[in-house]
Amino acid sequence: MEFESVIGLEIHTQLKTQTKMFCSCKIVDSNSPANSSICPVCTAQPGALPKPNEKAVEMAIKIGHALNCSINKFSVFARKNYFYPDLPKGYQISQYELPICENGYIEISNKKIRIKRAHLEEDAGKSLHAIGSEKLEHTLVDFNRCGVPLVEIVSEADMRTPDEAYEYLTELKKLLRWIDVSNCDMEKGELRCDVNVSIREKGTEKFGTKVEIKNLNSFKAVKDALNYEIKRQTEAKLKGENIEHETRLWDASKGITVVMRTKEMANDYRYFPDPDLPPLNIEEEKIENIKKSLGKLPYQIKKEYVLKFGVKEEDIETITSSRYLNSYFEKILSFTSEKETIKNSLNIINTQVLGYINQQKIDEADIETKAPNPKFVFEIAKLLSANEVSSAGAKKLFEEAIKTNESPSILVEKLGLKQTNDLSEIEKFVKEAVELNKKAFEDFKNGNEKATGPIVGYVMKQSKGRANPKIVMDILKKL
C-alpha cells in the first residue's frame, strides 16, 4: 500500500495595531511588567462592554484582499467557550459561521492552496508555569496579551508534502509583512502555526483521521514535525493500528510528537453570536478603497520583472520578499532601463548590499536611510555592463564607496580600477603567459578549461587587475 499525506494549516497572526481588539489598552511587548496594560474590558470585569478596533477590521480586510478572498460586508463575532486560567471571560471572542474573509487562495510553485477563511479574534493571556521553589511551585497569569487582535488564516487540506507546507508558510509570511499588517515574528508569538495532518491510500478521495500538532515555533519545526508525524502514521497504518483523532505536541529536543489531549470538535466550543457585539456591516466603498491602497503585491511584481527585464525568478526572490528592499531596487530602476545594468544591479543587491545590511544589522524598515546609496549600486552596475570594471574591481569599488561616500564613477579612476580593453596590450601579456605556462596552455588546447588559471593569473598581475577577463579568454581561444 502506498500512502499520501493530507495537510492543512491554521495560522494566527498578530496585527500591528496600537491598541487591543475590543478595548483601548496599549499593546506592549513581552518585556513589559506583567499586567501593566489591562482594563475592565480585557480582564472581563462585570458590566464592561467590548468595542471593535476599526484599524484591526481594516487590516483583516487587507489580508483578505492579499489572499484573494471574498470580503463579507456582513460578518458576526461569536463566543468560543472554553476554560483556561489565562482566559478571564471563560470564552474567546472570535468569528465562526460568518467570518470577515473566506474562499481565497495562495499560489505556490504553480499550485493553488485554497484559503477556507480568515477571521478576526482576540488573543488569550499568558500562563507562567513552575514559579517559585519546588515545595511552593505555582502558576502566575499575565493578562497583557489578553485581547490582542489576531487574524486566524485557515487553509484547506490542499498540501501534500512538508515542503509544500514550508513554501506556503514562507509565501504567507512574505505577503503579511509586505502589506504591513504584522511583523510575523514567531519568537515573539506574532505568528503561530498549528498543523492538521492525516494520511490516506493513494488514489482515494476520502480523508484519513486528522491529527493536530501544536508547539511549532519555527518553519523548520513545522517541516520536521510533519516529516515525523507522516512517518508515524504510515507505520501505524501498515501495522493495522488505528490513528487517534488527537492533538499532539512537537518535542524538538527529541524530534517526536507526543499526545497532548483528544481533539475537540467545533460543537465542544458551543459557538454562538456574541450578544455584546453587533454584526460588522462594512460598506462596499470602504472594502474597495482598502483594496486600492494595497498597490501591487509581490507575486504581481515578480511576474512583471520577469517579463520586463528577462531576469530569473530566483534572482528577484529577495527583492520581492520585502517592500523595503523592493523600494530600494525601484530607486535604481529610476536611473536606468538597460537590461544588463539592471541584472548587474540585482547581483550587487543579492550579494554585497544584503551582506552589508546583515553585517550592520540594519532593520528592514531602516533600509531606505541606512543601506548603501542606490545610485552607487547603479553606477557600479553600469561600469560592469560597459566592461569598464571587473567583478573583483566592482567589489572593491562598492567597499570604497561605502567608506568614503564618493561616487564609484570617480573612484574607478582614482583607484586605477578601470578595466583595459586594449587588445594589443592584453595580447602581449597573454603571449608572455603562454610561454611561461606551456603545459597549462597544452591542457587548455586539449579541452581542460580550468587549466587557464595560471595564464589568466599572470595577465591580471601584469595588467594590475585591469585586463578584461573576457578579452583574455577570447585571445587564448584565438591562439
Helix (H, G, I), strand (E, B) or coil at 21: coil
Residue-by-residue pLDDT tens, the chain, 479 positions: 799 999 999 999 999 999 999 999 999 998 899 999 999 999 999 999 999 999 999 999 999 999 999 999 999 999 999 998 999 999 999 999 999 999 999 999 889 999 999 999 999 999 888 777 777 888 899 999 999 999 999 999 999 999 999 999 999 999 999 999 999 999 888 999 999 999 999 989 899 999 999 989 999 999 999 999 999 999 999 999 999 999 999 999 999 999 988 766 767 889 999 999 999 999 999 999 999 999 999 999 999 999 999 999 899 999 999 999 999 999 999 999 999 999 999 999 999 999 999 999 999 889 989 999 999 999 999 999 988 888 888 999 999 999 999 999 999 989 988 877 778 888 898 899 988 998 989 888 888 888 888 988 888 888 877 787 888 888 888 88
Instruction: Return d(Cα 128, Cα 34) in angstroms, integer.
Output: 10
Which strand ranges, in their side-by-side order, compose the sheet holding 272-273?
Answer: 91-94, 78-81, 272-273
pLDDT for position 471? 85
- C-alpha 154: how far from its chain's center? 18
User: How many angstroms separate the CA atoms of 194 and 190, rounded?
Assistant: 13
CATH number of the domain at 423-478, out of 3.40.50.2300, 3.40.50.300, 1.10.10.410, 3.90.79.10?
Answer: 1.10.10.410
- Residue 340 sits at φ, ψ, to 5 deg, of -65, -40
End-to-end CA distance of the chain: 63
What is the pLDDT at residue 401?
96
Of 394, 328, 402, nearest in space to 372 by CA: 402
pLDDT of the residue at 58: 98
**b/e for 59-80, b at 16 or more Cβ within 10 A?**
bbbbbbbbbbbebbeebbbbbb
**What are the backbone dihedrals phi and psi of residue 258, each rounded to the nearest 5 degrees, phi first?**
-130, 150
> Cα dist. 217→89, 196, 251, 275 in Å?
27, 16, 11, 35
- The ranges assigned to domains in the chain are 9-197+258-286, 296-414, 423-478
pTM of this prediction? 0.86
Quote the pLDDT of residue 212: 95
Detail the DSSP E strand segments found in 110-171: 111-122, 126-131, 138-142, 149-155
Joined together, the cell numbers standing for residue 68 give 484573494
**DSSP readout, 187-229?**
GGTSEEEEEEEEEEETT--S----EEEEEE-SHHHHHHHHHHH
| Residue 420: predicted pLDDT | 72
Q: Alpha helices, DSSP H only, in 26-101?
A: 54-66
